[in-house]
Structure 1
Amino acid sequence: MSHLHYAILKNRSLIAIGGEEATHFLQNLVTCDLDQVQETGAGFGALLTPQGKILFDFLIAKTEDGYLLDTPRETLAEFSKRLTFYRLRAKVVIEALDDTMGVIASWHSTDTTISPAFSSLGVTISDPRLADLGNRHLGVIADMSKAMVLAGASEETPDVYARHRISLAVPESLSDYAYSDIFPHDADMDQLNGVSFSKGCYVGQEVVSRMQHRATARKRMILISSDALLPEAGATITADGKPVGTLGSSTQNGDRHLGIALVRLDKAKAAHDKGVSFICDNIDVKLDLPEWAKFTWPSDPADV
């Protein structure tokens, strides 16, 4: 049985959404299917611009009286304001919770007995993006931390959790991309259970559906690795002097340095077929698709 590790994610905050029309309100607004959230208890989604780009994203957990949205603290006020803007006269209550409430991530444990310890403290969900990421615990930070200690878990820093996430090649907003810059497909949200293509309309839905059905997603978040320390986020990845992608967050895992990069698959594949090396700030790097990815390298540049 693997040992349980946890980290208090100080860069995350919670928004509580309740009221008799909360489900209907969110269903018509965000990318994830609230019917599925009702069934499974958790989801991953985004609020898009009318042009289909990611304006805010979140993990969502079902509670007894509504939902909790786990979202970046940096944009908490803006997200709450935007949700309120869309509320109009709907019978919905939207509340940005204070700093006593927050998010803990736990991972590397096969012991399921910890969940009952949180039944009266908050909400525990399996990360809806990828099971290997572990669990998210939403509630009063102090109480949840005590429960983790009593469960024998080891507290880690957020950087250790980031290493865990990056090693799995799961992108994160604000660390790997800026809001309003990219489409859900670019951030692999369609691969990580973040977009429903079967529910009704929502903001930006037409653009996202068109990309899905026409298979026009050319850029993807993938794994980048090197023997040398990777540069800061935003560095350009080139092949034969031509840009093919941009580096996001990075970490060191053993002897290797790993990162997440937004890459043009067609350009990267063409360079690879020619035997051209990939360079990021004068460092040789290797590009790989995530193990969980359903997309592949194009067999021909015209395929993407």
Structure 2
Amino acid sequence: MTEMMNAWLQFLATQGAQVDAATQRVTGFSQTLTQDQLEQGFVAPLTELGLIAVTGEDGPHFLHNQLTNDVEHLGQADARLAGYCSPKGRLLATFLIWKTGDSVMLQLPRQIQAAVQKRLQMFVLRAKAKLLDATDSHIVLGLGGRAAGDVLLKRFSQLPDVPYSKIDGEAGTLIRVADAFGAPRYQWIVTLDTARQAWNDLTAALPPADARAWHLGDIRAGIPQVTLATQEQFVPQMINFELIGGVNFKKGCYPGQEIVARSQYLGKLKRRMALASVDVADAAAGMEVFSAADPDQPCGMVVNAERNLQGGSDCLVELKTAAVEAGTVHLGSAGGATLAIQALPYPIPDTST
């Protein structure tokens, strides 16, 4: 951990934050937010996220040939989701990507950042591109809820008007991500000095929240994130990644592209991601789920999970579509807690024809 990130974590501790030493994730403040507070507005330090900066004149072209989405035509006002696949088409990482000046920024979980960066670096070869660990030189704040926009307008002259749009200003970079809890959500990427100076003003208007509040929003929005527990488990379509703009089928080749394309165009997609809740507080990414109709083998896997405000967990779950149609789905075993499947905020197309 760098001196800058250590200083940020120490500052947060003085503000009442509890931090997991292993993951650097903020796990709590003095109060747990209610549903009304999540909907009204909050600010969350996202210290568990990692960041790779790709620089050099060949940087966009290099990434374009490695990731599932178009990087060469990524504009300064855009942000995008993108995946990095193994040759077998299985996701090693999912990113939020954007440009800052001449650099392309790749955001992913801190726990897998170093390994993913090392793997990407292997394929740079003669390309004029450098991959840098930018994790500890950028502070990421997540702001959500109805009041978040008005708070940010004190720092920015305007706000990104649609999800996955971005603006840059003297106050830093502001990215609007997928809406959740009935309101826009933003990531504000700033320097350490700006973050410390802004914190009191932010928390005077918005209660501070832990990382769980932010990632519950991701889950509710149906936005998956590959983590250490789920690397190489999913082809992009299995976690709806093409439905949320993470795959461009018109771009050129990348690792696993042939398998991803074949999954899209040949036959029915038999596995998809669903939103679910379960009356278990410790559901976690990588846990298997089972169908009561076929109890001897797993029918899917938890992609992401966070403890919800009711004492259970909200989850994104990859599973066989037939399992949902056949009956109940359970966590851990066919006799485990029942998953309550809920509607995602975007449609799942019928691929049976």
Q: TM-score, normalised by structure 1?
A: 0.84
C-alpha distance after superposition, 1:102-146 (max 9, x if no partner): 42222113436156287224321112xx34461222342452353
Q: Closer, same or farther in 2 for the Cα pair 1:5/1:144, shift >3 Å? A: same
User: How far apart in 2 are the matches of 1:68 and 1:144?
Assistant: 19
121, 143, 147: which one aligns with 2:194: 143
- Tell whether the 8 Å contact from 1:6 to 1:148 is kept in structure 2 after alignment: no
C-alpha distance after superposition, 1:25-63 (max 9, x if no partner): 111111111244226421111111111111122111111
Equivalent residue letter for 1:99:
D
106, 122, 135: which one aligns with 2:172: 122
Q: How many residues align?
A: 289
Match of 1:288 in 2: 342
- Tell whether the 8 Å contact from 1:32 to 1:196 is kept in structure 2 after alignment: yes
C-alpha distance after superposition, 1:230-252 (max 9, x if no partner): 55320423223524333341422
Match of 1:199 in 2: 251
User: How far apart in 1 are the matches of 2:256 and 2:282?
Assistant: 34
Match of 2:320 in 1: 264
Match of 1:155 in 2: 208
SS at match of 1:51: coil
Counterpart check, 1:113 vs 2:168 = no
Q: Closer, same or farther in 2 for the Cα pair 1:189/1:142, shift >3 Å? A: farther
Counterpart check, 1:225 vs 2:265 = no
Per mean C-alpha deviation after superposition, the further-off stretch among 144-153 and 89-98 is 144-153
SS at match of 1:261: strand
User: How far apart in 2 are the matches of 1:34 and 1:174?
Assistant: 22
Equivalent residue letter for 1:161:
W
In structure 1, runs of 5+ residues without a counterpart are none
SS at match of 1:173: coil
User: How far apart in 2 are the matches of 1:206 and 1:264?
Assistant: 22
Match of 2:89 in 1: 52
In structure 2, runs of 5+ residues without a counterpart are 1-38, 158-167
Match of 2:237 in 1: 185
Question: Percent identity between the aligned chains?
Answer: 22
Equivalent residue letter for 2:116:
F
Counterpart check, 1:277 vs 2:314 = no
Match of 2:221 in 1: 168
Equivalent residue letter for 1:217:
L
Equivalent residue letter for 1:17:
V
Q: CA deviation at 1:279?
A: 3.1
Equivalent residue letter for 1:14:
L
Q: TM-score, normalised by structure 2?
A: 0.73
Q: CA deviation at 1:86?
A: 1.2
